[in-house]
């Protein structure tokens, strides 16, 4: 496992539409392992592959309930609404208010290509939306209100 560099806003890769994963091989497993390590090191709750410069539909999330790995994730159902603070490891020290669904159901593959259906509410639903947006080149700041930059 290795820590990878996190791309920051302005880097083209964050605006790319990511490609579907078709090979569930060691290269994918290494990417997933490295992404988890990189996310934990940065104290993030989620990381998408373009944030480490890889234009593939791969996401890792841990909102404190254990590691979730999503390959080719798609939101298939949403319910309700929540409005709250959001930030991103690619936009350090910037925060904004984003409205997201309260509950989200996601369909994806696991690292071995097995079909997964996951449901999450609150912070997990927010993380699903935020990270899956990254796979389509969308950054939370595109959707945020009251953007704040913390400087010191
Ligand atoms: Ni982000």
Ion ligand 1: residues, CB < 5 A: 88
30 backbone dihedrals φ, ψ, rounded to 5°: -65, -40
Active site residue 20: no
Cα distance between residue 81 and residue 61, in whole Å: 20
pLDDT in tens, 118-128: 999 999 999 99
Q: Which two tokens stand for residue 137?
A: 């080149």
CA of 50 to the centre of ligand 1 (A): 10
Give pLDDT, residue 1.
Answer: 80
Q: Which domains occur in the chain, in start order?
A: 12-149 (3.90.45.10)
* Threshold 0.85, pTM exceeds: yes
pLDDT in tens, 56-84: 999 999 999 999 999 999 999 999 999 99
CA of 76 to the centre of ligand 1 (A): 20
Annotated catalytic residue within 69, 86, 94, 131: 131
> 17 Cβ partners below 8 Å, 6+ apart?
55, 135, 136, 137
Low-confidence ranges of the chain (pLDDT < 70): none
Give pLDDT, residue 77.
Answer: 98
């Amino acid at each position: 496992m290795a820590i990878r560099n996190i791309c920051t806003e302005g880097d083209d890769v964050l605006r790319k539409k990511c490609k579907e994963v078709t090979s569930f091989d060691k290269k994918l497993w290494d990417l997933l392992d490295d992404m988890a390590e990189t996310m934990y090191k940065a104290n993030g709750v989620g990381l998408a592959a373009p944030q480490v410069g890889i234009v593939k539909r791969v996401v890792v999330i841990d909102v404190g309930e254990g590691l979730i790995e999503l390959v080719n994730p798609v939101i298939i159902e949403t319910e309700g609404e929540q409005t709250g603070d959001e930030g991103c490891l690619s936009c350090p020290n910037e925060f904004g208010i984003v409205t997201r669904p309260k509950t989200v159901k996601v369909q994806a593959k696991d690292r071995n290509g097995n079909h997964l259906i996951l449901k999450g509410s609150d912070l997990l639903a927010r993380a699903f939306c935020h990270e899956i947006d990254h796979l389509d080149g969308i950054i939370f700041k595109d959707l945020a209100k009251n953007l704040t930059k913390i400087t010191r």
